[in-house]
Amino acid sequence: MQTHNLGYPRIGSQRELKKAEELFWAGKISEQDLEDVSLQIKISNWETQKHAGIDWIPVNDFSLYDQVLDLSVLVGAVPERFKKLAAQKSSNELYFAMARGYQKEGFDLKPLEMTKWFDTNYHYLVPEFTKSQTFSLSGDKPFREFEEAQKLGIQAKPVLLGPISYLLLGKEKEEGFSSIDLLDKLLPTYTAILKKLQDLGATWIQIDEPCLALDLTAEVKVKYQEVYQRLHTAFPELKIILANYFDCYGDNLDIALSLPVDALHLDLVRCPSQLDDILAHPALAHQALSLGLVDGRNIWKNNYENSLTYIRKAIEKLGKEKVWLAPSCSLLHTPYDLDLEIQLDPELKDWLSFGKQKLDELQELKEIAILPDAEHSLEYLKQNEQSIAKKALSKKVHNKEVKNALISLKASDFKRKAEFTSRQKIQKEKLQLPLFPTTTIGSFPQTKEVRLLRSKLKKGELSQEQYDAEIEKATTEVIHWQEEIGLDVLVHGEFERNDMVEYFGELLDGFAFTQHGWVQSYGSRCVKPPIIFGDVSRPVDMTVKWSVFAQKIAKRQVKGMLTGPVTILQWSFVRDDQPRSTTAFQIALAIREEVLALEKAGIQIIQIDEPAIREGLPLRKKDWDNYLTWAIEAFRLSSSGVEDQTQVHTHMCYSEFNDIISHIANMDADVITIETSRSEMELLGAFKDFRYPNEIGPGVYDIHSPRVPKKEEIIDLIQKAMTYLPEDNIWINPDCGLKTRQWEETKAALINMVEAAKVLRSQVLDTA
């Protein structure tokens, strides 16, 4: 019986990669310094896995920014606009330009589009393809990392994103072809990669094909058979583990089992039923099974007795030598090490397992399965059973008042008093906003000085009064600056907030927090998800103080800023002892109380951000309606208690809306702001075809890049938006919050945005 890991966190246990990257981007360290930090992280990761007893350790799972971008660079899929830069810059500089854009030395290059990696909060860089696309082996990353691991005595298993999933996850940049048509062009380069790995001594290679968890066309299913037969013919001695995760193989199971691969990985956390389906399948013969038993997406301790049930079934059918044990997916989505959490409640800590501990769980499961009667095996089982039982019985988990509040909900709690058309008239009269009102999504740059204030407060180096005085100063400055440049609806800047989910979780009951529980969201952006361990309730006001302060010193309307229930759910580690929908409604009730408190305090515009609605969508369409029903109801529960004159906004980003536009309309937000700039407003096609009735703020510039858009560029994007939407319903705003940006670029971009709005208003008036 073998153990293996599909991937490991790559930011460093102390976020060393994030810090090194940001210093490199700022020109404060060299490219070699960045490479040195990267190597140390990789070595630490490999040695941790080796020490835990993992038999096959992944390499090429490390990335400076994103694994899909890594493959794009490796196979030479560099968009034409970057070719001139590529001739002048190092490979790392080109790589980061593709990820973040490049605006200096006479260049003005937009980055690749970014979107969510399936239903996770991780973002990947979308490959761009053209009809005449060519591919060529253009780098050495997987080979270099394999050799680095070999030198350390690591039994290394290279990891590659499969060729079909890579193409399906890309985007056609012109009409008249499908990305899957490029397979014949890609395969020679992909084959060259496999050959070089084999020549270096690789015996097992993990090829990730997560698109096997999606609804696939008949054409793509045939392509899977063709491609893997070609790879097997070319490399009959090379052993391949085909990995799918995040859902079942479903109706792709026949295809998967027919492929000439040596092992098939199953995500038994997301789809426990598929093991029985596979073991009973007549095509199961030559393949080993990799059982994804340990949750790679959450932080709860594995229930050994449940996992052993699956292991015993597989052994009975296949024998021990054909059963591999693994996490459900890459551990990229989990924090590094629970041992770092010295301040966590010991009772709660006993229920948890982070990346490093999940490796130990795999090894313990292997030992129990092989030697079930050994003393150490019995002790592992006993300790695990005790932890699971203590969690189930803990009084910290359950709150009768919260449960009763959910039972008491009525249909009217999910519906605004009047329809949108009536509310819109009331709100326009009340707010007196101009055509194309300008606003931002909420946060302004969180500088080192602002973060230092929070750190000093936590350490007791600042009193609460001193801290509040500094936050008042920062808020006052940003309110006056917004008024100075002419923004129409202001925000208070959120300087008191650490993270849009963490901030609220710290003020809600039922949540716990870590010191070092960081996970990567994209590039150098790391988040520290809260842990929802119990019933959720709101003991105190969360945002009223700073919203009221900002409104008092402002001459224009200031939005109250909240994070919505589904996003708080999605971006947390969620309890696994009740349906996610139940937890979502508990959070929604807490947000509803805060919305009503803001309204009572005089805030007339309230934004409830839901960027994760689309992210939570199940991978299979047959499961969509159930999820969307409760997700939209949770938002409406949070937002529907206000009067008609109170304008409710929501924000959603990096989402394809075409398939769910009717559900988005059912949210019934007065204004929705969305990400559209990287896609050149293409996403608005869904809103036009559906005739979306409410107001929309299509994002006019990409905040995930330091690039500053020109005024003319913003005008062009809004003019495109006007071909999709009624001009009376259009707002002008950035794609997302500005927390991660620097002040210099933020100010320049927003000034251009406001000036663009003024030009467009004049043009409309001139033609009226």
Q: Is 525 assigned to a binding site?
A: yes
Q: Is 494 assigned to a binding site?
A: yes
Distance (Å) of CA 119 to CA 213, 501, 529, 615: 11, 18, 16, 5
Q: Is 736 assigned to a binding site?
A: yes
Assigned token pair, 77: 């899929």
Q: What is the DSSP string of 688-714?
A: HHHT--SEEEEB-S-TTS-PPPPHHHH
Q: Is 17 assigned to a binding site?
A: yes
What CATH number labels 2-393?
3.20.20.210
| The pLDDT of residue 654 | 56
Q: What is the DSSP string of 67-135?
A: HHHHHHHHTT---GGGHHHHTTS-HHHHHHHHHH-B-STT--BPPPPEEESTTSS-EEEPPEE-TT---
| The pLDDT of residue 379 | 97
User: Domain spans of the chain?
Assistant: 2-393, 422-502+542-564+591-617+635-767
> pLDDT below 70 — which residues of the chain?
654-656, 677-682, 768
Which residues does residue 733 pair with via DSSP β-bridges, in sequence order?
A: 699
Catalytic amino acids? Answer: 704
Coil/strand/helix, residue 376 = helix
What CATH number labels 422-502+542-564+591-617+635-767?
3.20.20.210
| The pLDDT of residue 768 | 63
Assigned token pair, 716: 């062009």
Q: Is 219 assigned to a binding site?
A: no
| The pLDDT of residue 720 | 86
| The pLDDT of residue 150 | 96
